[in-house]
Amino acid sequence: MLHIQNLTVKFEQKKILRSINLDIPQQGVTAILGPSGTGKSSLMRTLTEWSDAGGKLPAWVVEGAIVTEPQNQPVKIGLVGQRPKLALASVQENLMSEWPLREQLTWQEQQSRLAAFLQDYGQQGLLEKLKTNLFDLPAAQKSIVAILSKVLAGYDMLLIDEPTAEMTEEEARPVLDLVRQLGQRMAVVLVTHSIAQAKDVADRVALMASGCVQEAGDAKAFFAAPSTEVGASFLRTGSCPEMAYEESEHDHDSDAAPELFTSNVSALHQADRGVAPDFSSGAMTEAFDPVAWAKSDEAKAKTEQVGPKGFNWMLKDMLAGTPLPGLLRDVNDDLQALKDAGITWLISLTEVPFDAKLAAPYGISCSAVSMPDMAAPTIEQAEKLCRFIEKKLTENEKIAVHCKGGQGRTGTVLGCYMIWQAQGMLTGKDALKVVRSVDRGWVQSIEQIEFLNQFADWVASQPGLSFTVSDKVVL
């Protein structure tokens, strides 16, 4: 049993989670429901960090405790995120990626135990696909492999975040069957927006809104007769009233809308005129809400899908983010898609830069700044990247930035460039909202979020900083 007691998480001087109280049994499925932006994923990340640190609360927890029963018994928690990190390798390699017994067994023993494991969980279909590249499987089987790799790794508790996102009801069925089966053997926490799915598989339910657990208890009792008006509202409408900004004493989740910052609506996307966005003081004339803008028809038109899977324009026809070419399909297909999107320059953020020789036949030049996975650049790297991007845009190059998955490092660098363009008028928090208005997966780690704040503070604190394009900047 895991007891979460009065847990409060604070980030950027704002409370994301407020006095969370929740019990998670050592067996069964606990479904966490609630509207977007209420802190569900933040709670999952906090539990994972607590487990990885051997029971030490992460720095962003400002109050409360996580207590195990029996007391002080370590709990190994595995997280299967909305976008699980899966290798561009076979099904078998992905399944065994965290298996602690792997090095102790012969190849034949590995095969035998893996076959028995899959049969035990009713996954005979995967036995025929062990040598298949994982990314050739349908979405449901990829999700199942991600979950089973954590089971095989020996975790005591699994946190599974939206495992059926973007699947049809039929596609989701085998994933939910596996979740239900796992709940009969271990502790499972399932984050889902689907009332129907939670009703189908959950033993217990916790409803979150405004960064708090509004109601928690037996799933059958909750769905039959919720004990709170918030719970009743959620079952009726699929949402529930959230506290206004002032009512929550400035406590809200990192996905909530940012405060307004001053800018010109057209400044973010002046690509139609072939120039970089203008955040100079002369353009700062009216209030601009980046989240509201992102929902507008103008934004949708400017960020329409082109390029490879996972490709998104930050600035239409100027600057984009994309996964590593070749990650999800043939590298030449991805390069052709980048060329078709008009990309002429590729900036690699991976530790091993993308091979420029592969890109050259497609008319794409390459540059690189190496960063470890989930890391942020240094101030020096960020400044150099921003100056380089600015220089290439003035030369009418069309740039795509990539890391491995095109999410964390990519979104961080794009956020840095938006801060740079604002010349001290854009906070790190607002830059995060701007990039996530295009792709919610951009910027992944706490380190990356914190760096956007640091870079924004640094830019704003440099009164003599020159934003003039320089011909000398190189990567």
Q: Tell me the domain boundaries of the chain.
A: 2-237, 290-461
For residue 272, the model assigns a pLDDT of: 33
CA distance 50 to 46: 6
- CATH number of the structural domain 290-461: 3.90.190.10
Q: What value does the mean pLDDT take over residues 175-196?
A: 95
Q: How far is CA 383 from CA 13, 387, 427, in A?
A: 26, 6, 16
CA distance 436 to 170: 30
pLDDT in tens, 312-333: 999 988 999 999 999 888 899 9
Strand order in the sheet with 61-68: 14-24, 2-11, 61-68
pLDDT in tens, 82-93: 777 677 678 998
Amino acid at 238: G
For residue 296, the model assigns a pLDDT of: 56
| pLDDT over 70, % of the chain | 82
For residue 107, the model assigns a pLDDT of: 85
Q: What is the pTM of this model?
A: 0.55
CA distance 164 to 322: 23
Query: Is the distance from CB of 3 to CB of 61 less than 8 angstroms?
Result: no
- Asked whether residue 471 carries a pLDDT value surpassing 70, the answer given is no
- Asked whether residue 281 carries a pLDDT value surpassing 60, the answer given is no
- CATH number of the structural domain 2-237: 3.40.50.300
